[in-house]
A and B are shown apart, each in its own frame.
Chain A
Amino acid sequence: MKRPIVLLLAAVVLLPLLVRPVIATEIWIFAIFGLGLNLLLGYTGMLSFGQSTFFGSAAYVAGWLLKHYAINVFLALGIGVGVGAASAALVGYLCVQRSGLYFIMLTFALNQMFYFIAYQWTSVTGGEDGMPGIPRPALAGIDFSNPLVYYCFVAALFLGALWVMRRIVESPLGRILQAIRENPVRAEAVGYDVPRFKLLAFVIGGAFSGLAGVLYAMLFGIVPLEAIGFVFSGNVLFATLIGGSGSLYGPVIGSFVFIWLSESVSTLWARWPLLLGVAFVIVVLFLRGGVVEAWSRFWTWRSSKPKA
């Protein structure tokens, strides 16, 4: 367990040297978002196709307050977490009553609903143009408009979020969620109120998504309409699966791969989603389990080979 942490700290330090700080920041934001989804997908076994609902709602609300009422950064983050959790409670309450394809379609339907509300409510959200002009207010003399400073801030928050998530999945709560993933009927029979725990997972996941949403809005100074669209939900799903769902570090690795690839390819070729689609297909057909599993498979293969 020590090695991943060392690697992670090294990554946090080295990343801004390798890529532009904006992209480095985006990677950790996306990782926070992925952590939230992974609690649902990887640990509880709920395939939510509507995570951008919470991400986008939090970004819009906090962005609006930042822009018009010049609230302080921590207040904005707190509100984002609250909005993410609240919207997730609402959506989750409805969704946990269904499972399988119905669950997926329900998350999708509610995601689309929020999307079209944001799309039509142009006076607040700016509709298709997004909500621009979100400031990054300074805090106690620290000037967040410097990209590197903001990077450190986000990276610190990410490490904090990762720590919290680790505590959650290793706690009795995390074990119960995994039990629900493995066998919901049995978990129910043992005496756990399954829908309530699923809802709890939703709310926690939503809180993480909300945090990521506000950080995202402050990073780019805008809430684009896409931030609440279902393609965005698909992206975070993909990032999580590419890294390997069900492992704590999976979504972190996944968002690293995802953001880095998409940002570097998108500058070269405007049609980069084509390659993204190809990557989806390849991962699904040949690399199920994601990078984490491929890595461990590689190690077992190496150690099983007799030393020459």
Chain B
Amino acid sequence: MLYALMGLGLSLITGILNIPNFAHGALFAVGAYLLASAAVAIGNFWIALLVAPLGVALLGLAIEYAGIRRLYAAGHDYQLLFTFGLALILSEAIILIWGPVGYSYLPPQALRGGLDLGFTFYPKYRLFVMVMAGLLVLATWLFLEKTRYGAIMRAGIENKEMVSLLGIDIHKLFTVAFALGAYLAGIAGALTVPIRGVNPGMGVDMLGIAFVVVALGGLGNLLGAIAAGLLIGVAQALVAGYWTEASTVVIYAVMAAVLLVRPQGMFGIR
């Protein structure tokens, strides 16, 4: 479910902005760290969960406004370099601020322990994450499908020139899309904290997965990203069960295969 959130955010960014965002993993990590320190500072997990992703979204807003905005005409090499540089800055800044050692953070009191589901025993917090991520994905989907602005955004994926010809400020659209993508990465990061804790390498690991999800779902295909995120999560858990060494290699092999055979993504129609 978290993979779906990451993939959705990245797909939004790559789809609308046509930019390979190598800083996406770093945004994820920033979300996680912001949550951890906000939760400690405020003493309330729920407020922190509200605040931390917004912080990441603001950061995304600033990044788009100050940098990426000037690079739309520049070609992928420079966009890639820019986001790659950003990823370096963010991950090093994390080490500078929070130190190189990761630490863990417990879920709030109400969500500790497990729940007896009859057939299996499942940690309450993981259930919460699943529900929460499901709601977020649903909300994003509703926003994109049912609201006017969402329709404009989807139109922006299809044809940018046409959208701006219709008198819509495409730059504002880009900024919003990037901030939204950053928000999704941030909240995905925030939600993982009580499960896996925080460590400086978490962004890099997630970045690869996010790209796999985007490739599988098809660039700019948002529903595809959601489905691929779920699929990858399940597949990784299954493969890791009986052949741990191969699970990551297999994932990238699948990504390469999908890019080659069905570049429109597994669920693409175009």
Q: Do A and B come from one complex?
A: yes
Docked-complex contact A277 and B256, CB < 8 angstroms: no
B77:A98 contact, CB within 8 angstroms: no
Cα of A117 to Cα of B219 in the assembled complex, Å: 26
Q: Which of A49, A109, A271 contacts B256 (CB 8 A)?
A: A109
**B74–A274 touching, CB < 8 Å:** no
Chain B residue at smallest Cβ distance from A229: B204
User: A149 at the A/B interface (Cβ < 8 Å)?
Assistant: no
A237 to B20, CA, bound (A): 15
Segment at the A interface, from B85-93, B120-128, B141-149: B85-93
Asked if A276 is an interface residue, CB under 8 A from chain B, the answer is yes
Q: Which of A265-294 contact B (CB under 8 A)?
A: 271, 273-274, 276-281, 283-285, 288
Contact across chains for B81 and A283 when beta carbons are under 8 A apart: yes
Within 8 Å of chain A (Cβ to Cβ): is B270?
no
A100 CB → nearest B CB, Å: 7
Q: Quick check: is B82 within 8 A (CB to CB) of the other chain?
A: yes
- Residue A105 at the chain B interface, CB threshold 8 Å: yes
Scan A103-128; emit 1 where CB is below 8 A from any B CB, else 0.
01110111011001101100000000
> In the assembled complex, which residues on chain B have CB atoms less than 8 Å from the CB atom of A273?
88, 91-92
Q: In the complex, which residue of chain A has the Cβ closest to the Cβ of B15?
A: A101
Select A285's contact among B70, B208, B259, B260, beta carbons within 8 Å: B70
The answer to the question of A217 belonging to the interface, with a C-beta cut-off of 8 Å to chain B, is no
Closest B residue, CB atoms, query A111: B252
User: Do B215 and A120 touch across chains, with their CB atoms under 8 A apart?
Assistant: no
CA distance A102 to B265 in the complex (A): 11
Instruction: Give Cα distance in the complex from A102 to B93, angstroms.
Output: 30
Which chain B residues lie closer than 8 Å to A285 at the CB level? 67, 70-71, 82
Provide the residues of chain A in CB contact with B101, threshold 8 Å: none
B43-83 to A contact mask, C-beta < 8 Å, 1/0:
00000000000000000000000010011001011101110
| B20 and A109 form a contact (CB under 8 A) | no
Chain A residues within 8 Å of B215, by CB: 105, 109
CA A88 – CA B86 in complex, angstroms? Answer: 29
0/1 interface trace, chain B 205-223, chain A, CB 8 Å (1 if under): 0001001101100010000
Is B84 interfacial (CB 8 A cutoff)?
A: yes
Least Cβ–Cβ distance between B117 and chain A, in angstroms: 34
CA distance A163 to B252 in the complex (A): 37
* A22 CB to nearest chain B CB (Å): 24
CB atoms of A104 and B92 under 8 A apart:
no
Please tell me which one of the listed residues A97, A271, A284 contacts residue B95 in the complex, with CB atoms under 8 A apart.
A271
Closest to B85 in A: A280
CB distance from A217 to the nearest CB of B (A): 23
A238 within 8 A of B: yes
